[in-house]
């Protein structure tokens, strides 16, 4: 920080950094994106020439040497979150990191240790929590409108939308397939809606059924069938210590009616709802009620921008971040347990 201004460095200047994070930071007064780091020459050229970023580095460690930088925004492929987050915390930067926060629970535990040791903020960029439909629904839930949510069905299902780049299909970069890419979003959201209960156990299956087949086509173009080494389908069952439960199903390529089903259905004792459509199902005086929540009257700020704004305010005002790293730890532990359960055929007890 200098003269009341906060400085941000972005590690990884690819798709999400350019199209979502850059504009989120640019909206904020008293904040400047001072530097980016990316091993891709093309990404560095774009940052310098099209986005006007002052300092560009091929190695993020060089960027970390800039003392004025207060916040590192990590937008690298998943597997690289861990080293960048740890090194950033070690030199005293606050860290916002894209999802999944890390690819193993052990890595998240280390991140939490360093964030506490250095007294620096750490938050996973779970932008769906900042979508207006999520913010409103969470208020309804916390006010008891649904009663006790005893079960949820979380879907991150796509019929033919497989992200084609190595960032998502090569386990050495992604750490996993649709579970880590899109499952983490709907799981985090559902877990938060349910009040982040303590996990008792997890069982799951993961498989690659369609992604290696040449006769299967994706609506986002071709991918390298040989290189593809992550699951294309995963399902898990989470049992909580208070005997509530959650089902998670994720896929990049599923033979199903709709092109996309990105939703979570919450079953509560006083009402049920399917996010994000806002159709609330209740019963009163022996009469079934279908209530439609109208979100369209509220401002529809891009959730990535909201997430960045709120994170920045937590840094500036020294407040607790809303996506607590301890909650992300449970989310990552659940996903990791689904892989382990699939490999070992066992139920993973927490």
Ligand X SMILES: NC(=O)c1ccc[n+]([C@@H]2O[C@H](COP(=O)([O-])OP(=O)(O)OC[C@H]3O[C@@H](n4cnc5c(N)ncnc54)[C@H](O)[C@@H]3O)[C@@H](O)[C@H]2O)c1
List contacts with ligand X (CB under 6 A).
11-17, 37-40, 43, 60, 75-78, 80, 98-99, 125, 127, 165, 167, 181
We find the least distance from the C-beta atom of residue 79 to ligand X, in angstroms, to be 9
What single DSSP character describes residue 253?
Answer: S
Q: Is 187 exposed, middle or buried (0-12, 13-18, 19+ CB in 10 A)?
A: buried
- Cβ-based nearer residue to ligand X, 16 or 202: 16
What's CA 196's distance to the chain center, in Å?
15
**Shortest-Cβ-distance residue relative to ligand X:** 14
- Specify the residue, 103 or 238, whose C-beta has the smaller distance to ligand X: 103
Cβ contacts of residue 303 below 8 Å, gap of 6+?
127, 128, 129, 130, 131, 134
Q: Which helix (H) or strand (E) holds 7?
A: strand 6-11
* DSSP secondary structure, 48-94, as one string: HHTS--SEEESSHHHHTT-TTEEEEEE-S-GGGHHHHHHHHHHTT-E
Least distance to ligand X from the beta carbon of 37, Å?
Answer: 5
Q: Least distance from C-beta 99 to ligand X, angstroms?
A: 5
How far is residue 240's CA from residue 201's CA, in Å, rounded to a whole number? 7
Say whether 13 sits in a helix, a strand or coil: coil
Min. distance of Cβ 125 from ligand X in angstroms? Answer: 6
Report the alpha-carbon distance of residue 124 to residue 112 in Å, rounded.
11
Question: Measured from the CB of residue 78, what is the shortest distance to ligand X in angstroms?
Answer: 5
């Amino acid at each position: 920080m200098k003269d009341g201004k906060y400085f941000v460095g972005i590690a990884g200047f690819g798709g999400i950094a350019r199209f979502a994070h850059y504009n989120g930071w640019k909206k904020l007064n008293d904040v400047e994106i001072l530097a980016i780091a990316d091993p891709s020459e093309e990404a560095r050229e774009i940052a310098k020439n099209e986005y006007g970023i002052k300092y560009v580095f091929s190695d993020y460690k060089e960027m970390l040497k800039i003392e004025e930088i207060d916040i590192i925004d990590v937008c690298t492929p998943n597997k690289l979150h861990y080293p960048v987050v740890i090194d950033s915390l070690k030199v005293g930067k606050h860290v916002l990191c894209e999802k999944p926060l890390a690819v193993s629970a052990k890595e998240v535990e280390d991140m939490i240790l360093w964030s506490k040791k250095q007294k620096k903020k750490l938050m996973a960029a779970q932008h769906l929590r900042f979508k207006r439909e999520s913010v409103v629904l969470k208020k309804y839930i916390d006010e008891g409108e649904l009663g006790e949510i005893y079960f949820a069905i979380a879907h991150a299902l796509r019929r033919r939308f497989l992200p084609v780049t190595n960032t998502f299909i090569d386990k050495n970069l992604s750490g996993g397939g649709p579970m880590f890419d899109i499952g983490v979003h709907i799981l985090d959201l559902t877990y938060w809606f349910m009040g982040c209960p303590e996990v008792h156990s997890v069982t799951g299956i993961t498989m690659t059924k369609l992604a290696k087949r040449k006769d299967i086509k994706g609506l986002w173009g071709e991918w390298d069938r040989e290189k593809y080494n992550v699951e294309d389908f995963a399902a898990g069952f989470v049992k909580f210590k208070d005997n509530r439960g959650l089902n998670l199903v994720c896929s990049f390529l599923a033979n199903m009616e709709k092109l996309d089903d990105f939703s979570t259905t919450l079953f509560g004792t006083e009402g049920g709802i399917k996010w994000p459509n806002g159709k609330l199902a209740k019963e009163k005086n022996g009469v079934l009620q279908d209530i439609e929540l109208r979100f369209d009257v509220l401002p529809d700020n891009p959730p990535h921008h909201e997430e960045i704004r709120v994170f920045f305010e937590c840094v500036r005002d020294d407040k607790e971040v809303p996506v607590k790293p301890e909650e992300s730890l449970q989310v990552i532990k659940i996903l990791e347990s689904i892989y382990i359960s699939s490999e070992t055929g066992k139920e993973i007890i927490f």
